[in-house]
Amino acid sequence: MTDTRPELVRLSGVEKYFGAVRALGGVDLALAQGECLGLVGHNGAGKSTLMHILAGTATADRGQLAIAGAVPANYAPGTAKQLGVRCVFQELSLCPNLTVAENTRVFHPSLTGFTWRRRAGRLILDKLDAIFPGHGIAPSDLVQDLPIGRRQMVEVARAFTVTDEPVRLVILDEPTSSLDAHTAGQLLGFVRRAVGDGISCIFISHLLGEVIANCDRIVVMRDGTTVADAPAAAFDRDRLVAAMGDVEVHARDVEAGHERRRGQSPLRVRARPARQNGAGELVAHEGEIIGLAGLAGHGQTSLLLSIFAAATRATTGMEVTASVALVAGDRQADGIFPLWSIAENIGVRSLHSLRSGLLISARREYELAMHWRDKIRIRTPDIDNNILSLSGGNQQKALFARALGSDARIVLMDDPMRGVDVGTKLEVYELIRAEADAGRTFLWYTTEFDELKQCDHVYVFRNDLIVADLTRDELTEQKVIQSSFAEAG
Amino acid sequence: MKGTLAGVLARPWIWSFIGALAVWLAAITFTGGTGAGGMLTAALSLAVFTVVVGVGQMFVITLGPGNVDLSLPANIGLASAVAMTVMAGDDQRIAFGLLAALACGAAIGTANYLLIWALRIPPIIATLSASFVIQSIDISYGRGLQIKPPPGFADFTNIQLFGIPLLAVLTVLFMIGAHVMLQRTIFGRSVLAIGQNMRAARLAGIAVNRVRFATYVLCGTLGGINGALLAGYFRGANVDIGNEYLLASIAVVVIGGTSVAGGKANIPGLFGAALFLVLLLTMLNTFGVSAGVRLLLTGLIIVAVITAAGGTKRER
SS3 per-residue string spanning chain A:
CCCCCCEEEEEEEEEEEECCEEEEEEEEEEEECCCEEEEECCCCCCHHHHHHHHHCCCCCCEEEEEECCECCCCCCHHHHHHCCEEEECCCCCCCCCCEHHHHHHHHCCCCCCCCHHHHHHHHHHHHHHHHCCCCCCCCCCEHHHCCHHHHHHHHHHHHHCCCCCCCCEEEEECCCCCCCHHHHHHHHHHHHHHHHCCCEEEEECCCHHHHHHHCCEEEEEECCEEEEEEEHHHCCHHHHHHHHCCCCCCHHHHCCCCCCCCCCCCEEEEECCCCCCCCCCEEEECCCEEEEEECCCCCHHHHHHHHHHHHHCCCCCEEECCCEEEECCCHHHHCCCCCCEHHHHHHHHHCCCCEECCEECHHHHHHHHHHHHHHCCCCCCCCCCEHHHCCHHHHHHHHHHHHHCCCCCEEEEECCCCCCCHHHHHHHHHHHHHHHHCCCEEEEECCCHHHHCCCCEEEEEECCEEEEEEECCCCCHHHHHHHHCCCCC
Average pLDDT over residues B26-32: 84
Eight-state DSSP code of residue B182: H
Higher pLDDT, A438 or B307: A438
B176 pLDDT above the threshold of 90: yes
Best CA proximity match to A378, nearest among A333, A341, A330, A325: A341
The reply to whether residue A349 touches residue B264, judged by beta carbons under 8 angstroms, is no
Average pLDDT over residues B102-126: 93
Average pLDDT over residues B9-25: 76
Best-predicted range by mean pLDDT (A296-300, A396-400, A483-487, B104-108): B104-108
Predicted-complex ipTM score: 0.83
Average pLDDT over residues A223-227: 87
Collect all residues of chain B within an 8 Å Cβ-Cβ radius of residue A325.
205
Nearest 10 degrees: Cα torsion A19, A21, A27, A31: -80
Query: So what's the pLDDT on residue A41?
Result: 79
Average pLDDT over residues A160-181: 83
CB B272 within 8 A of CB B44: no
Poorest-confidence range of A139-148, A414-423, A456-465, B109-118? A414-423
Q: What is the pLDDT of residues B90-101, one digit of tens each?
A: 888 899 999 999
A371 pLDDT above the threshold of 90: yes
Confidence of residue A252 (pLDDT cuts 50, 70, 90): very low
Poorest-confidence range of A50-64, A85-99, A111-125? A85-99
Q: Which residues of A232-252 are buried (b: 16+ CB within 10 A; e: fewer)?
A: beebeeebbbebbbeeeeeee
As a whole number, the mean pLDDT across chain B is 86
Query: So what's the pLDDT on residue A249?
Result: 36
Higher pLDDT, B3 or A310: A310
Which residue in A has a C-alpha nearest to residue B9's C-alpha?
A339
Confidence of residue A43 (pLDDT cuts 50, 70, 90): low
Q: How far is A324 from chain B (nearest CA, A)?
A: 8
Confidence of residue B134 (pLDDT cuts 50, 70, 90): very high
Which residue in A has a C-alpha nearest to residue B181's C-alpha?
A359
Average pLDDT over residues B107-129: 93
CB of A76 less than 8 A from some CB of B:
no
Higher pLDDT, A93 or A338: A338
CB of B186 less than 8 A from some CB of A:
yes
Collect all residues of chain A within an 8 Å Cβ-Cβ radius of residue B1.
none
What is the percent of chain A where pLDDT is above 90?
A: 27
B251 pLDDT above the threshold of 80: yes
Which residue in A has a C-alpha nearest to residue B199's C-alpha?
A334
A164 pLDDT above the threshold of 50: yes
Confidence of residue B62 (pLDDT cuts 50, 70, 90): very high
What is the percent of chain A where pLDDT is above 70?
A: 90
What is the percent of chain B where pLDDT is above 90?
A: 45
Strand ranges (DSSP E) for chain B? 160-161, 164-165
Confidence of residue B48 (pLDDT cuts 50, 70, 90): very high
Q: How far is A338 from chain B (nearest CA, A)?
A: 7
Q: Which helix (H) or strand (E) holds B67?
A: none
B2 pLDDT above the threshold of 50: no
Poorest-confidence range of A281-285, B139-143, B150-154? B139-143
Q: Which residues of A379-390 are buried (b: 16+ CB within 10 A; e: fewer)?
A: ebeebeebbeeb
Query: So what's the pLDDT on residue B144?
Result: 58
A248 pLDDT above the threshold of 60: no
A213 pLDDT above the threshold of 50: yes
